[in-house]
Every structure is written in C-alpha cells, then in structure tokens.
Amino acid sequence: MEISLIKKIVEEYGLCVWCIGRQIVKDPMKFYERGAEIYDKIGKKLKLRCGLCDGFFEDEGFFKQLNEELSKYEFRTFDVGVILDSKKIELEDEMRSKYKVIGGLTIKKAILAFSRAMISRYTSKYVDLKNPDLRVYVSVRNGKMSYIIKTKPVFLEIRITKRERAARIRASKCHYCFGKRCLKCNWTGREDDGSLEAFLLFRLPKILEGDIKIRWTVRDFENSVIEGLGRPIYISLKDARKMLSAPLLVPRYPVKGFLITLSRAIGKNEIQNIFIQNTRIFLKSDRSIDEYLKHLQRNFKNYNLKIIDAPHKMRIRKIFDLKVKKIGKSRYVMLIEHETGINLYKFILGPDAGKSKMNTYIADILDNVHLEIEKIDVVNVREKINYY
C-alpha cells in the first residue's frame, strides 16, 4: 500500500497503529511493529485506540485476566471463536473496498489470530482447529471486551457393584417439585437422599467441577445385588474444569453399599445400548415345576425374544441360555444369560407384569403354575462386542 493511501485511511477512519499494521501483515505479533513504522513515515503520533478494534489489541490486561481463569482448567489444546459487532465488520468492508485494500487481515480474522497467539503465549497450549479440549469465545461489542470458556464434552464409563440390597440406586423425586425440577433440587428433579443417583447428581459435579448427565444402560434392580465386573453407567460431563483427571477423581466408594470397579474416559462412539447380562432369579411356585426344567432349557437356548413396545414398534433381544435348578420345596433358582433390555418380571410372570408385549412367556409354558419372584440379582454384565 502506498503511504499516501494509508495516510488517507488514517485521517478518514482514524485507525490505530495495530489496525494499520494488520492491513499489511498477517502475523499478529507484527501488527504493532508494522503499524508503528507506517505512523512514523506519515509523521503522525501513534494512535492506540480506534473505532474498529475499540483498543482490543493494546489491552494486555484482558489476556492476563483470561489466563488467570484458564489456569483453573485442565486442557491440552484450545481454539478461539470471535463475536464482533456487525457494524464494525461492515465499516471495515466499506473502507477496504473504497481503498482497494487486499492484504493483511480483516478485523475478525485479526482478533482471532491475535487471541490464539496471546493465549498460546500465556498458557503454552496448542491450537487445535478440529477438536480442541477447550474453546474461548472472545467478544468485542459496544466498546466492551469479554470472554466465555467452553470445554468439549467428556464421556465417562463407570461400573458399579452393589453388595447391600437395601442400598438405593435411584433417588426419590424432589418433594418440592415432585420431579419437575426446581431451584431447591438444583434443577435435577431429584432428592439428595444418599442414593447412588443422588451422589452422581449432587456430589460428583462438585468434585469434577462440571455439569453431569447420566445415561442408565440396564434395568435398575433395586433390592438386588450386582456382582461381577459391575453395571455400566455412562456420564456425560460438560464444561468441566477437571476434564483430564475426571476418571481418576471418581471415588471408589461413592456411597454405602456401592463399589466403583472401573472409571475411564471413552469416546462418544464407544457408548453402547445393549449388553450381555447374567441374571440370577430366585423363584417360588405353588407346585412343583420339575417336569418343565429340561423343556425350559431346550426352548430358550439361543432364543430370539420379540418385544412389542407399541404398535409397529418391535425389538428383538436374545436369550443365550436359561437354566433352572431346584433348591428346596417349590423353590428354584433360574440363571439366564441374555441381552439387556428385557423386562424379566414380565418374561417370567406373564403379560400382566408390564405394558409391553412379548411373543412368549415362561408362565405360559408352565401350564398355569403360579410363580413368585423372591429376588433378582445381577451376576455379571459384559460388553456385547466382546462376547459371542
């Protein structure tokens, strides 16, 4: 650009030393240096604040404050987003078009490049354009500068075992809003009642310093024990400051009666909906079912159970194996190896034990024998991809 042209731009639009420099160079660390050279050549006193950037580039205190806040977060990579007044963009577009300025960086690109460079300098972290751990949104609007920090979602898989039948998995509804969510229950709809769910909703977010959403994967089994490798539960963690150390910070003993056997970070694509479960069911009957035991085992070996949840909505869950053993007078224990997602009460007791329908029930095969389920325990839960 010719010096005479730059002088006209400075006089008409009042550009600061930084904004003159960025019309010529793309390196954000050279904006000031190049701009100062131009100001010296046109014989004008350095101007550090203008109507385009509102003094953004000279305000080092802004990035010191931002760095202090970023020091509270665990992250390896970052990126920046910019929020800018549309009038500023339009004004510069008008100027660059009028004087045919084609080099350098526009105001939005310049703020973006400068912010990336300054944050990297302060934090020693790296820019990742595709999948950053953390994103800083820098806002320059109405003469004011501000920022918002957002971290990417972190997905955790935890596995829990339950040794005490009385220990509760799910929390009761908030007695103020009856589950509708209110300020009293921190917008969870649940009561902080000492259950596992209450721990996940109320205590774990404070430990990890983020927002938590729970994804339950298998039936709750209240009043049961859960053995083996444990039951999988997925946790989505948003805007967490402890995003990198989160798996290590989950307590091994969250509440009485529970043990967390596994806590690991996973990718979203690793979340599964169906698992292979071994379930132990204690049954009581009004008369002997000894004559049906072998038939039940043969009939449900590698059996595809059809479940109709609604008209035109059917799913299939596989039963790999089913064994029944007599343990006392009219008392039996049933061991089932099956895909999760089966209402076992309904499958055993018949169509009256739930809303969905199934193509067959154990009660039908037993020819009017009345069964009672005394307790159901989870023996083990396995990932489907690693089994069969």
pLDDT in tens, 154-164: 999 999 999 99
Across 326-355, average pLDDT: 90
Reply yes or no on whether the pLDDT at 231 is more than 70.
yes
Strands (E), 239-274: 258-266
Pick the CATH number of 3-151 from 3.30.2300.10, 3.40.50.12780, 3.40.50.970, 3.65.10.10: 3.30.2300.10
Instruction: Answer whether residue 99 shows pLDDT above 90.
Output: no
| pTM, rounded to two decimals | 0.84
State the angle between helix axes of 86-98 and 3-13 in degrees (0 to 180), rounded to the nearest 10.
150
Distance CA 349, CA 347 (A): 6
- Mean pLDDT on 70-89: 95
Cα gap 19→190, rounded to integer Å:
54
Q: Which residue, chain included where needed, has tokens 């010296």?
A: 40
Average pLDDT value for residue range 87-91: 91
Residues in the chain: 388
At residue 388 the predicted structure's pLDDT band, cuts being 50, 70 and 90, is very low
Domains 3-151 and 275-386 share a fold: no
Q: Which of 236, 317, 333 is nearest to 283 (CA)?
A: 333
C-alpha triplet 83, 85, 89: angle, nearest 5°: 105
The contacts of residue 178 (CB under 8 Å, 6+ apart) are none
How many Cα neighbours within 13 Å face the side chain of 237?
Answer: 32
Number of H helices, E strands in the chain: 12, 14
The predicted structure's pLDDT at residue 106 = 94
pLDDT at 355 over 80: no
Exposure string for 72-103, b = 16+ CB within 10 A, e = fewer: ebebebbbbebebbeebeeebeebbeebebee
Where does the pLDDT of residue 76 fall: very low under 50, low under 70, confident under 90, or very high at 90 and above?
Answer: very high
Structural domain spans, the chain:
3-151, 154-270, 275-386
Whether pLDDT at 306 is above 50: yes
Instruction: Scan for tokens 């404070």, then name that residue.
Output: 206
**Paired tokens of 109:** 């690109």
Answer whether 233's CB lies under 8 Å from 217's CB. Answer: yes
Please tell me the predicted confidence (pLDDT) of residue 336: 97
pLDDT score at 101: 86
CATH of domain 275-386: 3.30.70.3190
Give the architecture (CATH level 2) of 154-270.
2-Layer Sandwich (3.30)
Least confident of 35-49, 309-323, 334-348: 35-49
What pLDDT, on a 0 to 100 scale, did the predictor assign at position 387? 43
Q: What confidence category does residue 1 fall into, taking pLDDT thresholds of 50, 70 and 90? A: low
Share of the chain above pLDDT 90, in %: 77
pLDDT digits (tens, 9 = 90+) for 185-195: 999 999 999 99
